[in-house]
């Protein structure tokens, strides 16, 4: 299936069907990030329980320097 | 509001200097500057992660988060809805409940949009955030926002990053005089003198970024700003002398001629 992550199209195999899998795939499980799935924020403890469907939009944001 | 500490909502701080974390030349310089500034509040922006470079270093992840309170901003938002979204994302990190509401209304001056700022504050207060709006030196907007229930007012001294200092100290003093919540002068500070002047007006704190990050020696400037904020506050608490048009001798008249 194909999903959009931070505006980029990404091909995911079937076993990568939860947010948790996506975060592992992107090597981001140890980072301070916030995930939004189709416009809804996904708390870390729900990564496992949030399935990803074809065409979903996922945003991964973090804190950067700013005033 | 004479007090030895800065109280923002349920948060209490000893330092009255808030430091932005943008535009530093390196993490090493930044870490040193943050340390010598003795700040307890650091601002951050929320941005998309670069998913192709997940191992890029991140300043926040290198901080001892037990030592600092985070004040994320909603920079990048041009309306209330975008600001609320960014604030929710920031809060979902579980690291903070304070939010600097920054809704820019014009790309050239980076001046805040008062109407969208007000709307964003209204919503974020309903959601339980500790809300600190960045505004221009608008005395009535400051009044309306504190009536709405925001936890601090953050009027700009001059445009963001301009370093022009306090362009309208008169209106800033009106905001400070009427304040029922802390007033933090945010943006436009260029020198330690500007920071001290803001504190002498009676501001409860100063938020600056470029003045330190862009200085020739950011670490030295961070220390200068720390001292300036302390000096300005002490001077305000001590109570300045009234200004007079003519001289008044410091040495006694009695005993003359010698």
What pLDDT is attached to residue B109? 95
- Tell me the DSSP string of B165-220: --S-HHHHHHHHHH-SS-BEEES---SHHHHHHHHHTT-SEEEESHHHHTSSSHHH
In A, minimum Cα distance to B95 occurs at A32
Say if residue B23's pLDDT is above 80: yes
Confidence bin at A46 (pLDDT 50/70/90): very high
Confidence bin at A16 (pLDDT 50/70/90): low
What is the number of other CB atoms lying within 10 angstroms of the CB of residue B122?
16
The per-residue pLDDT for range B142-162, each reduced to its tens digit, is: 999 999 999 999 999 999 999
**What is the interface pTM, i.e. ipTM, of the complex?**
0.92
| Residues of B engaging A, defined by a Cβ cutoff of 8 Å | 20-24, 30, 43-49, 51, 54-55, 58-61, 70, 72-73, 75, 88-90, 92-95, 160-161, 187, 207-210
What pLDDT is attached to residue A13? 79
When pLDDT is averaged across residues B226-255 and rounded to a whole number, the result is: 95
The per-residue pLDDT for range B174-185, each reduced to its tens digit, is: 999 999 999 999
Say if residue B240's pLDDT is above 80: yes
What pLDDT is attached to residue B2? 55
Confidence bin at B57 (pLDDT 50/70/90): confident
The mean pLDDT of chain A is 91
Say if residue B136's pLDDT is above 90: yes
Cβ pair A41:B89 closer than 8 A: yes
- Tell me the DSSP string of B96-116: --EEEE-BBS-TTT--B-HHH
Cβ pair B44:A66 closer than 8 A: yes
Element at A11 (helix H, strand E): strand A8-11
What pLDDT is attached to residue B210? 96
Confidence bin at B1 (pLDDT 50/70/90): very low
When pLDDT is averaged across residues B32-58 and rounded to a whole number, the result is: 93
CA atoms within 13 A on the CB side of B16: 27
Closest residue to A67, CB basis, from B22, B54, B93: B22
Is position B35 annotated as part of the catalytic site? no
CA distance A40 to B31: 34
CA distances from A61 to B9, B146, B149, B254 (A): 27, 31, 29, 73
When pLDDT is averaged across residues A44-66 and rounded to a whole number, the result is: 94
Global pTM? 0.93
Confidence bin at B3 (pLDDT 50/70/90): low
Say if residue B55's pLDDT is above 90: no
**A11 against B77, higher pLDDT:** B77
A45 vs B: CB within 8 A: no
The mean pLDDT of chain B is 95
Confidence bin at B212 (pLDDT 50/70/90): very high
When pLDDT is averaged across residues B208-214 and rounded to a whole number, the result is: 97
Cβ pair B45:A26 closer than 8 A: no
What pLDDT is attached to residue B54? 80
When pLDDT is averaged across residues B138-144 and rounded to a whole number, the result is: 98
- Domains annotated for chain A, with CATH where assigned, are 2-62 (3.10.20.30)
């Amino acid at each position: 299936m194909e999903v959009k992550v931070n505006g980029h199209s990404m091909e995911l195999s079937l076993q990568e069907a939860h947010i948790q899998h996506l975060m592992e795939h992107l090597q981001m499980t140890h980072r301070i990030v916030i995930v939004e799935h189709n416009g809804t924020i996904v708390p870390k403890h729900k990564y496992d329980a949030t399935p990803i469907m074809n065409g979903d939009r996922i945003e991964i944001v973090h804190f950067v320097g700013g005033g | 509001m004479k007090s030895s500490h800065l109280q923002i909502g349920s948060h209490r701080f000893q330092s009255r200097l808030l430091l932005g974390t943008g535009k530093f030349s390196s993490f090493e310089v930044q870490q040193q500057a943050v340390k010598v500034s003795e700040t307890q509040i650091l601002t951050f922006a929320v941005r998309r992660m670069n998913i192709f470079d997940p191992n890029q270093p991140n300043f926040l992840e290198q901080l001892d988060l037990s030592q600092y309170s985070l004040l994320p901003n909603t920079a990048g938002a041009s309306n209330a809805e975008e600001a609320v979204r960014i604030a929710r994302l920031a809060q979902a990190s579980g690291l903070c409940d304070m939010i600097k509401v920054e809704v820019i209304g014009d790309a050239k001056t980076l001046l805040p949009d008062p109407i969208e700022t007000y709307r964003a504050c209204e919503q974020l207060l309903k959601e339980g955030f500790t809300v600190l709006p960045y505004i221009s030196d608008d005395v009535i907007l400051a009044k309306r926002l504190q009536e709405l229930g925001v936890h601090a007012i953050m009027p700009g001294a001059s445009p963001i990053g301009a370093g022009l200092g306090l362009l309208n100290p008169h209106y800033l003093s009106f905001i400070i005089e009427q304040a029922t919540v802390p007033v933090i002068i945010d943006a436009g500070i260029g020198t330690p003198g500007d920071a001290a002047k803001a504190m002498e007006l009676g501001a409860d704190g100063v938020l600056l970024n470029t003045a330190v990050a862009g200085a020739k020696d950011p670490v030295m400037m961070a220390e200068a700003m720390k001292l300036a904020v302390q000096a300005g506050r002490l001077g305000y608490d001590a109570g300045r002398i009234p200004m007079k048009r003519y001289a008044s001798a410091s040495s006694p008249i009695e005993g003359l001629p010698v």
